[in-house]
Each structure stands twice: as C-alpha cells, then as structure tokens.
Structure 1
Amino acid sequence: MAISQDEREFFVVLGARIAQLRKGSQITQVQLAQTLGVSQPTVNAYELGQRRVPVSALPLLARTLGASVEELIGEPQTAARKRGPAPKLMQHVERISALPKTQQRTVMNVIEAMLAQQGR
C-alpha cells in the first residue's frame, strides 16, 4: 500500500515526537520496544518515520511516554468544557496562576489574611 507525502511527513514528525518524549522520560529504545512488544529496530524505524506506528499502539505508547494520545500525534489538547462562562473565582485563579511566583505569593498572603480575619 502506497503512502502519500502527507502521511510520510506525519510519521516523520510523529517519530521525532516519540524520540523526544522517550529521551525526556529517560527510556531506551530497547525498554520501549519491550513495553510495546516489538523489536528495538522497529522502535528505531518508528522514530525515524520509516515505519508506521499502528493506531492500536498509540494509547500504550502515550501512557509509557507520559503523554496524551493527542499530544503524541500533535493535536492540541481539548479541555473538558462546561456549559456557560467559567465562574468568576475560577477566572481569577487562572489569572493569578499566570502571575510570577512572587506576585502569586503576595496574592496568597492577602487571601490567607482575609480568611484568617473571617475565622475570628
């Protein structure tokens, strides 16, 4: 079965991503091959984009590499969304978490002081 240029490029990029995640997790090709039930040369071929990664292997591969299947194949992760806008408190928490750590500590100190006053 022939493979299109787009598919070839997809598997090259997927292979590079697998190699990057594997190395970041300090897993050898041999260890990954054992987990997947394939040979080390097969893992090497996956990483070089010379061989297609079976779809059925993606969940185990993602778990082993500490990634989601979406991350593994290069799709943006979609967060589970609730209906309607986020509650105001959650919006503030998100904005606070984007602040530098020193400012986050300052905000936390103010919140803790306010809560301590309420507790009296």
Structure 2
Amino acid sequence: MPITDDERTFFVALGERMAQFRKARGITQAQIAETLGLTQQTYQSYEVGRRRIPVSTLPSVAHALSVSLEELFGESASSPRKRGPMPRWQKHIEAISQLPRAKQQFVAQMLEAVLAQAQQ
C-alpha cells in the first residue's frame, strides 16, 4: 500500500522528533535499535521517514526516548488541552482525595449509605 503525501509528511516529522530526542539524550541509533529489538537500518529508516513505524512500536519508542507519546507526536505535554470547566462532582472528588484517610473513609461510608437508600 503506497504512502500518501500527508502520511509521508507525518512520518518525516515524527522521525525528526525521534532523532532530536535521541540525540539530546546522547543515544546512538544502534543503541536505541538494540533496545527496541530492531536493526540500526530499520530504526534509521524510521527517523528519516522512509518507513512507517508500526503503531504498536510507538509506546516502546517513547519509553526508550524517555518522552510521552504526546511529546513524540509533537504535542506539548506541559500545556494540556483546555477541556472547559471541571464538573462539580469531579471537584468534590478531588477535594475528598486531599482529606486525611479517616475522613475519606467517613465520606465513602456516607456516600454508600445515600446510594443504598436511593436504590430502595
């Protein structure tokens, strides 16, 4: 199956990021290829965008380069996408998670009692 121009652009940019991360960490292509169980030539072809890297390999590549998948794909991990305001119940859960363990257990018992009563 031939690669489209858009796919080629994506894989070239991905390969460039892989090379940047690898070089920044002082890792050779041979070293990372060995870590990933690949030949150096295969890994090199991923970096230059000549071959499509299998999706199943991407988590291993990110781990070997000590980056997140978001960083590997060129998205900033430090600035998460804005999702809008946090739901009220989620705010409550986060607040509860900050309480001491005994108070967390108390809140859990209260919720369980309310939920049990609502099911009757």
**Do they fold alike, i.e. is TM over 0.5?**
yes
Question: What is the CA–CA distance in structure 1 between the aligned matches of 2:20 and 2:5, rounded to whole Å?
Answer: 23
Structure 1: runs of 5+ lacking an equivalent: 85-120
- Residue in 2 aligned with 1:23? 23
- AA in 1 matched with 2:60: L
- Residue in 2 aligned with 1:83? 86
TM-score, structure 2 normalization: 0.64
**Structure 1 residues 9, 42: CA separation in 2 closer, same or farther (over 3 Å shift)?**
same
Within the alignment, does 1:51 sit opposite 2:41 as a pair? no
Count of matched residue pairs: 86
Question: What is the CA–CA distance in structure 2 between the aligned matches of 1:33 and 1:72, rounded to whole Å?
Answer: 17
- Residue in 2 aligned with 1:14? 14
Question: What is the CA–CA distance in structure 2 between the aligned matches of 1:66 and 1:7, rounded to whole Å?
Answer: 25
Q: 3-state SS of the aligned residue for 1:14?
A: helix
TM-score, structure 1 normalization: 0.64
Q: 3-state SS of the aligned residue for 1:50?
A: coil
Give me the CA root mean square deviation. Answer: 2.4
